[in-house]
Structure 1
Amino acid sequence: MIEPFAVTLGPGSSRSNRTGSWRSERPVYVDRVAPCGHACPAGEDVRDWLYVAQAGEPAYEAAWRRIMDDNPLPAVLGRVCYHPCESSCNRSELDGAVGINSVERFLGDLAIERGWQVEADKPSTGLSVLVVGSGPAGLSAAYHLVRLGHAVTVRDQAPRPGGMMRYGIPRYRLPREVLDAEIQRIVDLGVALELGAPVTDLESERRDFDAVFLAVGAQLDRRAEIPAATAARVLEAVGLLHGLEDDGSAMLGRRVAVYGGGDTALDVARTARRLGAYDPVVIYRRTREQMPAHESELREALDEGITFRWLSTVARVLPDRLVVERMELDENGFPQPTGELDELAADSLVLALGQDTDLALLDRVPELRQDHGRVEVDETLSTVCPGVFAGGDMVPQEQSVTSAVGQGARAARSIDRWLAGLSTTTPNHGEVPALATTETLNTWYYDEVPRTHRPRLDPAVRAETFDEVVTGLDAASALEEARRCLSCGQCLGCDNCFGVCPDDAIIKIGPPGPGGYLIDLDFCKGCGLCVQECPPGAIQMFPEDG
């Protein structure tokens, strides 16, 4: 039998002297808030699932399930989200932000390929919820509610589900087989999906349910009063995209002008290019710097040959051309007409001036309707009507697919508490941890690893097809990208603290990672070496009391 190794403490050793009595400050393991998760509108714990994904196979499924705790559409958001998480990533100050969105898409696509499913294993509550609208907010709410044990019915007037994900985002950005797969996974949990079923009388239909979540998307085009000849072809952006999804046809002609400056305007111009327009032009009243469209979408449009008329407005529409007026910015940065006119050949003009939500279903519940065309809600997404909640494009908050997914999850939690007879306000569990910043990290421990960018179709090829423009990372690149995460503010199990402690005061109590270490305060003298050598900044010095 091998005897355990014995250590004899000399009378002058630190452990013999219990050097903890020398300490004026103590190190404490902390869990700071990672900026990526803090910035995620969908509420994902990005650092958490990236940490799991860094192990590679077979941990990918576990990482995907961590995402699915918050977001039921990872393959969709891995394509259409504008990833504010990456804009907040601390690694951007080192060698480039982690490609979080790329890794999320990789995991979402892998889940579809392998048929991974989640379970609705909570016992039935016997309570029912009506969700009006099958867009991202409605689907997210339905997913979370059914997993909480409630019976959920989703009603939508459209013949196919997805809302603006299907009827507002072109296929070259979001392939329909990806959207359909992730929606089917939600339906397979037991969500009742009723299509071609508009809700026209909310007051009547809500009587059959214990709660209602309103998630009608913004699918009404805003109008503009532009003089037009009777023969002029003036179309509306959302109606055009909706029609393309329904029957795949559009009569635009070869010369197409689009009036507007948002992402929808770019989607229409790029779609027109794919439909055969040889020189689509976007007309915008302000400058490029003031354009609300995302820079990535603008760059792709320019690559595909879309031209732009900045500081211009459409003054009149004639049968085969437009009269365009040049604008100039005043001292406050607002565009003002100059009276300088020009003509632009055009077979059709598409108006992309923004969208509004159709609130006709609220006609018999006037207290819900607001003058600004939105439904007023509190921080829990509750309306003034008990048991009626609203989210997505219906409420005055950020309008994006990612934000809508997050609102659906938040509404589900509020509805669940309301159905249980509890306050819808989220319980306060104490002080919120501080945000992990580059100042709290020890970045010299991290090697510089250039970011891997997702491949894109060549502009000359993609302008001729609706094939997906941005493709995904391969398995090796996705793993490397996940491993670029700095684990900001959370222990990553590197053993540095264990190795550098001169007093052997760091004790391993579990596997490497969060919660895997303990500090023996009898012997820690508060030298702070562990803090200085912790790469993610997961240890902090605090003054001793008294």
Structure 2
Amino acid sequence: MDHPFAITLDVGTSRANKTGSWRTELPMYVHNQPPCNQGCPAGEDVRTWLYEAEEGGDAYERAWRKIMEVNPFPAVMGRICYHPCETGCNRGQVDEAVGINSVERFLGDEALRQGWTVSVDHPSSGLRVLVVGAGPSGLSAAYQLARLGHAVTIVESAPKAGGMMRYGIPEYRLPRDVLDAEIQRILDLGVRLELGVTVTDLDATMREGRYDAAFLAVGAQIGRRAYLPAGAASHVVDAVSLLHELGDGERPLLGRRVAVYGGGNTAVDAARTAMRLGAADSVVVYRRTRDKMPAHDAEVREAEEEGVRFTWLSSITQVEQGSLTIERMELDETGFPQPTGVTEELPADSLVLALGQDTDLRFLEGVAGIEVDHGVVTVDDQMMTGRPGVFAGGDMVPDQRSATVGIGHGRRAAAGVDAWLHGRSAPRTEVRSPAAFEALNTWYFADAPRAHRPLLEAVRRSSTFDEVVQSLDADHALYEARRCMSCGNCFSCDNCFGVCPDNAISKTGDPDAPYAIDLDYCKGCGLCAAECPAGAIRMVPEEI
């Protein structure tokens, strides 16, 4: 394998005397947890699939299949995930984090282009599982359960599958043909999808369908309202409804001047959508400062480039036809915004409320064992509720709310469902030591500035729903994969083999354990551990 960003050393000495008896410590190859793996809510083994992708060509399919073990949406997540895997990337302390999300999108798109498919891994279990909700969490669980051999039926109240991926994320961020293709791949495993069906009585639905277990993932589809004094002719809508209408193919009428109240990603999406629907002025009103805004920086920057304005430290106090009254805020000594009594008028034909979302859990009323606390369902570490055989995930359980988190919930719940159906405990995730930056020898890696994905021109973006962020081409995707430093894991660079002064290290040809240490000759000098670029060797005390 060619690793252009790591220097390879050659063998320099020959074997002489057996020196193993001198040793007080011996080297051990380790598999530590890279920060990218640790940061992925979906549970991807990022380091491994990047390692596969470094070969390019036919290896791309191996990399894609590694992702597909835990995440059935690489092309979708390569577009909408806010890549927490990159936040902790050790490469970021050298130059810039590896563009993990960019490579994932490239692999997902390549799979769609090439028509790669997955298959059911296990024989039919003869067991039936109900999934309520066809959002990222429900679809993820259905995918994993189908591959485990279970008969899965998804019921979804909306006319199309996708949940917040379809009804909460605008098309300029996620083209619908990409979403539809990855959903269809799941359905091709034999998953049954019933659209336009609302579950109102969980017990009755399970009994009538003779389901052996259920996974609930209804999402948070109700926009929160706020009491704002409003005139009879004022036009106030919530962002959830606005984006849902777009998902159904409608074009809501907002007028030429649109205000959006809120500070999250949904608020930014609504403001950018308003521009694309013909607004000449789209302004986000937020009661805090930009550094406290929960929306992601990249989304805010792109919105500003497209002409969206932001009014910081402002609160809306009155809504009238054609205008809003906003009150200026100021930060107190604790950094919390306080009203100042200073008001001004903001022209606006409509106001979009983006103040958060809640889950409709009325269908769980009267279901024994299921506990609802502050609008979310209590689950254990296997995602099972207090009702045996009923699991839940996604936005309806306590956790961060994102598609990637939902996918992770679906995967964990599927493992829990499968274990419960077979009367055994679900497998536990292996706990590995973190791969710290201090253990790396970064001077072995050549300078390699990050390859960023191109954007459409801002003027074109604001007037069309064409996809904003473009994909890396094959050359740049390969380059970006090779920027990975394989933190805490061997990548067969041959440095240990080359620097060992006693030739105690040999190549095995086994990709899972590429080197062997001959303890008759290893004197425990630690040179291999000290010079390992990835920090994949540590010295341990010799057992007597």
- Are positions 1:152 and 2:114 aligned together? no
**How many Å apart are 1:428 and its aligned residue?**
7.1
Counterparts in 2 of 1:91 and 1:16: CA distance versus 1, 3 Å: closer
Given that 2:134 and 2:154 are in contact with CA atoms closer than 8 Å, whether structure 1 keeps it comes out as yes
Cα distance in 1, alignment partners of residues 17 and 101 from structure 2: 52
1:361 corresponds, among 347, 363, 379, to 363
Corresponding residue of 2:464: 465
Corresponding residue of 2:474: 475
Given that 2:19 and 2:520 are in contact with CA atoms closer than 8 Å, whether structure 1 keeps it comes out as yes
Counterparts in 2 of 1:486 and 1:502: CA distance versus 1, 3 Å: same
Instruction: Return the letter of the residue paired with 2:473.
Output: D
**How many Å apart are 1:14 and its aligned residue?**
8.9
Corresponding residue of 1:532: 530
Cα distance in 2, alignment partners of residues 87 and 247 from structure 1: 35
Corresponding residue of 1:445: 444
Cα distance in 2, alignment partners of residues 40 and 427 from structure 1: 17
Instruction: Return the letter of the residue paired with 1:267.
Output: D
**How many Å apart are 1:379 and its aligned residue?**
1.2
Corresponding residue of 1:68: 68
Identity of aligned residues (%): 63
Counterparts in 2 of 1:95 and 1:371: CA distance versus 1, 3 Å: closer
- SS of the equivalent of 1:368 reads coil
Cα distance in 2, alignment partners of residues 70 and 247 from structure 1: 31
Corresponding residue of 1:520: 518
Instruction: Return the letter of the residue paired with 1:317.
Output: V
Q: TM (normalized to structure 1)?
A: 0.95
Given that 1:163 and 1:217 are in contact with CA atoms closer than 8 Å, whether structure 2 keeps it comes out as yes
Cα distance in 2, alignment partners of residues 250 and 83 from structure 1: 31
Structure 1 spans left out of the alignment, 5+ residues: 1-12
Counterparts in 2 of 1:520 and 1:336: CA distance versus 1, 3 Å: same
**How many Å apart are 1:16 and its aligned residue?**
5.7
Cα distance in 1, alignment partners of residues 223 and 343 from structure 2: 27
Corresponding residue of 1:109: 109
Alignment size in residue pairs: 530
Counterparts in 2 of 1:14 and 1:115: CA distance versus 1, 3 Å: closer
Cα distance in 2, alignment partners of residues 101 and 247 from structure 1: 28
Cα distance in 2, alignment partners of residues 415 and 227 from structure 1: 48
- SS of the equivalent of 2:484 reads coil
Deviations 1:421-441 (A, max 9, x none): 1134x4476xx3211111111
**How many Å apart are 1:514 and its aligned residue?**
3.9
Deviations 1:168-194 (A, max 9, x none): 000000000000000000000100011
Corresponding residue of 1:97: 97
Corresponding residue of 2:178: 178
Given that 1:489 and 1:536 are in contact with CA atoms closer than 8 Å, whether structure 2 keeps it comes out as yes
Q: TM (normalized to structure 2)?
A: 0.96
Cα distance in 2, alignment partners of residues 320 and 375 from structure 1: 41
Counterparts in 2 of 1:282 and 1:517: CA distance versus 1, 3 Å: same
Deviations 1:202-252 (A, max 9, x none): 011122200000001111000100010000011111011111221322110
Deviations 1:470-515 (A, max 9, x none): 000000000000011111111111111111211111121115x540
**How many Å apart are 1:264 and its aligned residue?**
0.5
Cα distance in 1, alignment partners of residues 322 and 257 from structure 2: 9
1:365-514 aligned within 5 A: 365=367, 367-424=369-426, 426-427=427-428, 432-511=431-510, 513-514=511-512
1:51-62 aligned within 5 A: 51-62=51-62
Corresponding residue of 1:189: 189
Counterparts in 2 of 1:427 and 1:272: CA distance versus 1, 3 Å: closer
Cα distance in 2, alignment partners of residues 16 and 86 from structure 1: 46
1:542 corresponds, among 527, 540, 543, to 540
Given that 1:492 and 1:514 are in contact with CA atoms closer than 8 Å, whether structure 2 keeps it comes out as no
Cα distance in 1, alignment partners of residues 325 and 301 from structure 2: 27
**How many Å apart are 1:337 and its aligned residue?**
1.4
Given that 1:493 and 1:514 are in contact with CA atoms closer than 8 Å, whether structure 2 keeps it comes out as no
- Are positions 1:319 and 2:317 aligned together? no
Corresponding residue of 2:217: 215
- SS of the equivalent of 2:377 reads coil
Deviations 1:307-363 (A, max 9, x none): 111111110111111111111122222222111111111110111100001112112
Deviations 1:145-167 (A, max 9, x none): 00001000000000000001000
**Deviating more after overlay: 97-106 vs 23-32:** 23-32
2:269 corresponds, among 267, 278, 281, to 267
Q: CA RMSD in A?
A: 1.3
- SS of the equivalent of 2:451 reads coil
- SS of the equivalent of 1:487 reads coil
**Deviating more after overlay: 319-328 vs 254-263:** 319-328
**How many Å apart are 1:15 and its aligned residue?**
5.3
Given that 2:499 and 2:527 are in contact with CA atoms closer than 8 Å, whether structure 1 keeps it comes out as yes
1:258-297 aligned within 5 A: 258-297=260-299
- SS of the equivalent of 2:372 reads coil
Structure 2 spans left out of the alignment, 5+ residues: 1-12
Which contiguous aligned blocks of 4+ residues in structure 1 show a shift greater than 6 angstroms? none
